[in-house]
């Protein structure tokens, strides 16, 4: 049984975010979704670079549980998906600077709302503009994440699951 906890921007700064993503990979995470954003009719080299780097890992879009954009009537949406493996994770991490929540909007394009899945089940769902996220793991996995010095809470201010 998966338990729900919440992570915050300060929880995943620097190496902690990278550590959590690597941990999720070790625990069987196999796909991720992220929203690639760009201004209309403006060249977006950052967004284009992401698309180019991750193109070979893209999977067919599928319905998955989402945190951002979900409503009470439908908690799942069709989302773009990429394979989550050692290679795709390293490419994804090359686009992260200070935090998993820190992809500032701008004319070059940006990324939002990283979500990691294991066999279609949401494990980590970040809401970039709220600086909060959901972490769903087994009690044993939560203990292992805590041992990695990655803090989480039982409640959040703005999001829920």
pLDDT at 111 over 80: yes
What's the average model confidence in pLDDT over 91-101?
88
For residue 158, is it within any domain?
no
* Whole-number pLDDT of residue 69: 75
For residue 31, is it within any domain?
yes
Alpha helices in 3-128 (DSSP H): 15-26, 45-54, 86-93
Q: How many residues does the chain have?
A: 161
For residue 157, is it within any domain?
no
Structure tokens at 80: 């773009």
For residue 45, is it within any domain?
yes
For residue 155, is it within any domain?
no
Q: What is the pTM of this model?
A: 0.95
User: For the segment 137-157, what is each residue's pLDDT rounded down to a tens digit?
Assistant: 999 999 999 999 999 999 999
Tell me how crowded residue 128 is: count the other CB atoms within 10 A of its CB: 24
Contact between 90 and 11 under an 8 Å Cβ cutoff? The reply is no
Contact between 140 and 108 under an 8 Å Cβ cutoff? The reply is no
Q: Structural domain of residue 61, as residue ranges?
A: 3-147
Contact between 11 and 21 under an 8 Å Cβ cutoff? The reply is no
Phi, psi of 112 (to 5 degrees): -140, 155
Number of domains making up the chain: 1
* Whole-number pLDDT of residue 145: 98
């Amino acid at each position: 049984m998966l338990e729900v906890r919440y992570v915050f921007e300060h929880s995943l700064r620097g190496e902690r975010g990278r550590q959590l993503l690597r941990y999720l990979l070790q625990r069987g995470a196999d796909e991720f979704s992220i929203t690639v954003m760009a201004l209309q009719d403006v060249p977006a080299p950052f967004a284009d670079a992401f698309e180019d780097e991750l193109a070979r890992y893209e999977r067919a879009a599928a319905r998955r549980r989402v945190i951002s954009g979900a409503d009470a009537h439908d908690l799942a949406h069709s989302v773009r998906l990429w394979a989550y493996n050692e290679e795709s994770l390293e490419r994804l991490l090359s686009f992260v600077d200070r935090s998993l929540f820190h992809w500032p909007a701008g004319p070059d394009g940006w990324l939002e709302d990283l979500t990691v899945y294991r066999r279609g089940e949401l494990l980590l769902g970040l809401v970039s503009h709220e600086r909060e996220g959901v972490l769903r793991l087994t009690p044993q996995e939560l203990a292992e994440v805590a041992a990695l010095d990655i803090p989480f809470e039982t409640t959040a201010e703005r999001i829920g699951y």
